[in-house]
Structure 1
Amino acid sequence: METARRLRNEGFSVTPHLPARSFTGRQELKDLLHQYRNEADVTHALLLAGGAQSTRGDLLSSFDLIDTGLFDKLGYRQLHVAGHPEGSRDIDPDGSTQNVDAALLRKCEFAKRTDARVVITSQFLFEVQTLLDWASRIETLGIDLPIHIGLAGPAKLQTLIKYAIACGVGPSVKVLQKRALSLSRLLLPYEPTEMAQKLEAYKFANPSSRIERFHMFPLGGIEPTVQWCRQQMKAQ
């Protein structure tokens, strides 16, 4: 909570990741949400299902988190739901996007009845065009929520590849694997600067895009990610 409070005081938007299956039940979720609100004035949250192997109670999906009603009751003003630009084999084992698309459409309906603002936060990945194609495709389905693009924060390449594989990052992980073939680049930490610049240029050229901002995944640690963000803000 101390880190969350410090970052809030510095003007950063803090969005705790809440995997449903990591909670023993409603009471544990409620206690944690109270802590974030009362101790760090956090009003955003990312609602996730979590890994199938991590189930600890009867909360199994982001919809189970939603159905508790706790977020509206406790004054959470912005709720993030997951987007999967490369699909998800856990959700759609057949390689389609049928279930992930249906889930987003259902979350659009939820957005109409909650007091909170609902946004889609994408899984991190490493190809800009894949993101843009996905954002365009879901809009044609009637999914009209704002989109926050997931970026992997600075990290050692080996660490990033490990997280990418564990989190089910799809074809774009090849970008990292290709980078790993170069010894000089293998020794340097990955930074999302190039992706961020390309996405900013796209947004500037397409202001009506539903892409709104970045969501940082601090895979190499919170402090390196915060330092990178500070550098980007100074450069603007």
Structure 2
Amino acid sequence: MALLPFRKRATTPDSTAALAGFLHGFSIEVMPRTAAKIENLGALLPKGTRVYIAHIDGTTIDDMVATARRLSGEGVQVMPHFPARIIRDRAVLEDWIARYQGEAGVSQALLLAGGIDTPRGDFHSSMQLLESGLFDKAGFTRLHVAGHPEGNRDIDPGGGMKNVTEALRWKQDFSSRTDAQMAIVTQFAFEAAPIIHWADGLKAAGIDLPVHIGVAGPAKLQTMIKYAVACGVGPSLRVLQRRAKDVTKLVKPFEPTEVLSDLALHKAANPDFNIEQVHFFPLGGIKAAAEWAAEHGAPGNRAAVATC
């Protein structure tokens, strides 16, 4: 399937409305240290927004649970990361689940391999976490897994999508064996055409889990490039590289308007398109991402509840 030849377009009334609808129910990712900078995250986001809490290596479970407890009290839906490679064994996993549930009322989780090369214990993949049965046993209502629209060199060292697609097919099969709702939340990318190509490829491979597409919130171009390189963003990095050649744009924040408008218009024209929600990585700050979403969202979006 050929990539779609998107060109930069001016904002139109149609694209404005499409973007507002596409942003409904967006989610956002924080870390304990970034969340601590916001006095009341619930006052900044639409009621019921899903907030992922990233568990970076070196962060203690005490800090993670405390952040989850605080944010739950502010009226958002908390979804902590469970990085398989830093979880020592089944007993630790069971303890984390119990603490999140008992101390913060958490009933949903993002399961992923994690950002380290060598596992610290018995787990090395999100599939092992799913197979443990502990999330089902605890009655977690929602389990998300990671997606990579531009591939993942950790999973497919030679490039391509073979292993990541097989892993998602396994997770698709697992979804039929659990009562929990499942979805794919992706790494961020900067160009709509490769995202659409990847999402359509999933459907062709028989994977129909809903996709929550990752995008980077507004940030300085230098910041965006740094994170994009560190996170292994693929061909869509060229969007930033082209912009970097224009010295007049170096001091202006890079915003996700173009990629999200293109995806929104595609969704409006193809209602069965499997991307259902937007997930923000607030590289330029939580407040900047939340304000951008509010500025471009539909009226009443501040009362939206994440339901997909």
**How far 1:222 sits from its partner (Å)?**
3.0
Is the deviation greater in 203-212 or in 177-186? 177-186
Q: Tell me how far apart the structure 1 counterparts of residues 154 and 101 of structure 2 sit (CA, whole Å).
A: 32
**1:1-236 to 2 correspondences below 5 Å:** 1=65, 4=68, 8=72, 12-53=76-117, 55-233=119-297
Unmatched tracts of structure 1, length 5 or more? none
Q: Tell me how far apart the structure 1 counterparts of residues 260 and 148 of structure 2 sit (CA, whole Å).
A: 18
Q: State the one-letter code of the partner of 2:83.
A: P
Q: State the one-letter code of the partner of 2:89.
A: G
Q: Tell me how far apart the structure 2 counterparts of residues 71 and 154 of structure 1 sit (CA, whole Å).
A: 34
What SS is found at the alignment partner of 2:297?
helix
**How far 1:15 sits from its partner (Å)?**
2.8
Q: State the one-letter code of the partner of 1:17.
A: H
Residue deviations 1:51-96, cap 9 Å, x none?
Answer: 3436322211111211222221222212111121111121112222
Q: TM-score, normalising length from structure 1?
A: 0.88
**How far 1:124 sits from its partner (Å)?**
0.8
**How far 1:186 sits from its partner (Å)?**
1.8
**How far 1:12 sits from its partner (Å)?**
4.5
Q: State the one-letter code of the partner of 2:229.
A: I
Q: State the one-letter code of the partner of 1:65.
A: L
**How far 1:22 sits from its partner (Å)?**
2.3
What SS is found at the alignment partner of 1:16?
strand
Greater share of residues in helix: 1
Structure 1 or 2, whichever has the larger Rg, is 2
Is the deviation greater in 98-107 or in 26-35? 26-35
What SS is found at the alignment partner of 2:253?
coil
Is the deviation greater in 39-48 or in 111-120? 39-48
**How far 1:173 sits from its partner (Å)?**
0.9
Q: TM-score, normalising length from structure 2?
A: 0.69
Q: Tell me how far apart the structure 2 counterparts of residues 214 and 207 of structure 1 sit (CA, whole Å).
A: 15
Number of residues of Structure 1 aligned to a counterpart in Structure 2 = 236
Q: Tell me how far apart the structure 1 counterparts of residues 270 and 69 of structure 2 sit (CA, whole Å).
A: 35
Say which structure, 1 or 2, has more relative contact order (CA 8 Å, 6+ apart): 2
Is the deviation greater in 121-130 or in 28-37? 28-37
Unmatched tracts of structure 2, length 5 or more? 1-64, 302-308
Q: State the one-letter code of the partner of 2:166.
A: A
Is the deviation greater in 187-196 or in 160-169? 187-196
What SS is found at the alignment partner of 2:248?
helix
What SS is found at the alignment partner of 1:123?
strand
Is the deviation greater in 111-120 or in 10-19? 10-19
Q: Tell me how far apart the structure 1 counterparts of residues 118 and 73 of structure 2 sit (CA, whole Å).
A: 33
Q: State the one-letter code of the partner of 2:213.
A: I
Q: State the one-letter code of the partner of 2:204.
A: T
Q: Tell me how far apart the structure 1 counterparts of residues 255 and 67 of structure 2 sit (CA, whole Å).
A: 22
**How far 1:9 sits from its partner (Å)?**
5.9
- RMSD of aligned Cα (Å): 2.3
